[in-house]
Structure 1
Amino acid sequence: MTEPQLNPAILAEIARHPGVTLAGSIYAVAEADRPVTAEHLGRAGLWIHADVIMNDLAHRGVDLSLVRSLSERGIGPLDVHVIAPELDVLIDEICAQKVDRVTFPFESCPSLDAVADTAERIRSSGAAAWLAVAPGTELAEIRPCFETIDGLLVMLIEPGSTGAADPTLAARAGQTGPDLPAGVDGGVDAANLGACLDAGASYVVSGRALFSSSSPPPDADTPGRACSAPPVAPKGT
């Protein structure tokens, strides 16, 4: 494939907000196009966001072999977003790849202690540990974790669901305090990006909206789709 054309409206909006980091979600393009897309993101100075999904003990999403190849070749920075109901096996596999950041879902952790333990395991591998929070989880449940994580990723759409992003959820990114960076992910496009940045997001993940001329993967043909893993139930349900 030819190199993807990055959406100029998104790039221009990011440029108007110094200090904001943009990441391209390579799960948003067809599997065969992901290596070239990742290389292009790296050359453009953007982060590479890779959704690694496990469902019923089967890997889906971005294959770990691609993560390993990018890491070994020094292509990055790499942010691996783990989407799975159980984290232990995947966290160990991903940490072994020596990536820059591992993002894991709060909803897959059985307790606050488990969040802290997972974050420490990630940091011991040399990666930063970010926590993702789904729309159905109250931010108040996450606050006790702020001291044990390196950043918070606010999902604007339930992982595994379809529909449009809810940019009002981006307000959570401005509620972590000055010492904890926060980002947004899920259906971010040129239309809602400004609201996300105004809300305080310093890290933005964009998929198909960023790759304006790339082909979507065959299992993600619905606008606003975040990933194909089953939704993770909010805590307390």
Structure 2
Amino acid sequence: MKGYTGSLNPAITAQIDGHSGATLAGSIYAVAESDQMAAARHLAKERLWIHADVIVDDLTHRGVDLSLVRTLKDRRLGPLDVHLIAEELDGTLDEVCAAKVDRVTFPFESCADPAAVAEQIHRSGAEAWLAVAPQTSLTAVQHVLEAVDGVLVMLIKPGSSDTADPALLARVEQLAPVLPAGVDGGVDQTNLAACLRAGARYVVSGRALFSTTAPAVLPSEGV
């Protein structure tokens, strides 16, 4: 991870500004741990969402610490979306709900009863969004859609640094008429326009958003 430079990629922010109804979130997991607070402050100042990946029981990837999540909420920085990435939610969900964040995004693959998880999140006062990994079909999650406020389509395996799979944008197109759909994973200035055309209303970007060396988008690539 590179040090936080204090800037956001204008090739990304300009596309979002030019697309009515789309919301941008910055994934603070993409910057060094020592810079995550500064990045969150910047996002809040720009009135963008703060997306915090809380990764549980993964020795390879260190996510955003729950203590920072609590600090962000105490300092009223937000809106704040906590994305749980875990094999099992266990007590971590209880801790996140206790923090009273604005949105909790949870993985379909990690819970036996997603509707019950969504209900617990709603009781805490937060929105409940369902994250769907690339290997999970939309058919498998159909029975949960009525219980959640939105679906986050993962374009890469959660926690990885793979290249976004454009074929997965078909899921956004399917979901968009039903409820809000978002995208996460490898979103940058080269594929953002396609995400927006597919109907994404919530866009999570990390490394590309916080990069100041990313190339500008050509006019023909705009939305």
Q: TM-score, normalised by structure 1?
A: 0.85
For the aligned residues, what is the CA RMSD? 1.9
Partner of 1:135: 134
CA-to-aligned-CA distance 1:123-171 (integer Å, 9 cap, x gap): 0000000000000111111111110111000000011334211122122
Task: State the partner residue of 1:199.
Answer: 198
Amino acid at match of 1:172: R
Cross-structure match for 2:65: 63
Q: Matched residues in 2 for 1:86 and 1:72: separation? A: 27
Deviation sequence 1:23-75 (CA, Å, 0-9, x none): 00000000000000000000001000000010169993000111101101110
CA distance in 1, matches of 2:143, 2:101: 26
Offset at 1:179?
4.2
Structure 1 moving runs of 4+ over 3 Å? 56-60
- In structure 1, the residue matched to 2:221 is none
Deviation at 1:3, TM superposition (A): 5.6
Q: Report the equivalent of 2:175.
A: 176
Q: What SS class does the counterpart of residue 56 from structure 2 fall into?
A: strand
Provide the rounded CA distance (Å) in 2 between the counterparts of 1:182 and 1:59: 26
What is the SS of the residue equivalent to 1:33? helix
Aligned residues: 211
- One-letter code aligned to 2:121: I
Distance 2:150 2:90 in 1: 20
Amino acid at match of 2:10: P
Aligned match of 1:234:
none
The 1:56/1:40 distance shift into structure 2, 3 A limit, reads closer
The residue number in structure 1 matching 2:114 is 115
- Decide whether aligned partners of structure 1 residues 2 and 50 sit closer, same or farther in structure 2, where only a CA change above 3 A counts: closer
In structure 1, the residue matched to 2:87 is 85
1:180 is paired with a residue whose SS is: coil
| Structure 1: unaligned runs, 5 residues or longer | 215-237
Separation of aligned partners in 2, 1:199 and 1:29: 28
Contact 1:132 1:155 in 2 (8 A): yes
TM-score, reference length from structure 2: 0.90
Indicate yes or no: 2:25 matched with 1:23: yes
Q: Please give the alpha-carbon distance, in whole angstroms, between the structure 2 residues aligned to 1:84 and 1:201.
A: 24
After superposition, the C-alpha distances for 1:64-88 in whole angstroms (9 at most, x for unaligned) are 1111011011100000000001112
Shift of 1:16: 1.6
Q: Percent identity?
A: 64
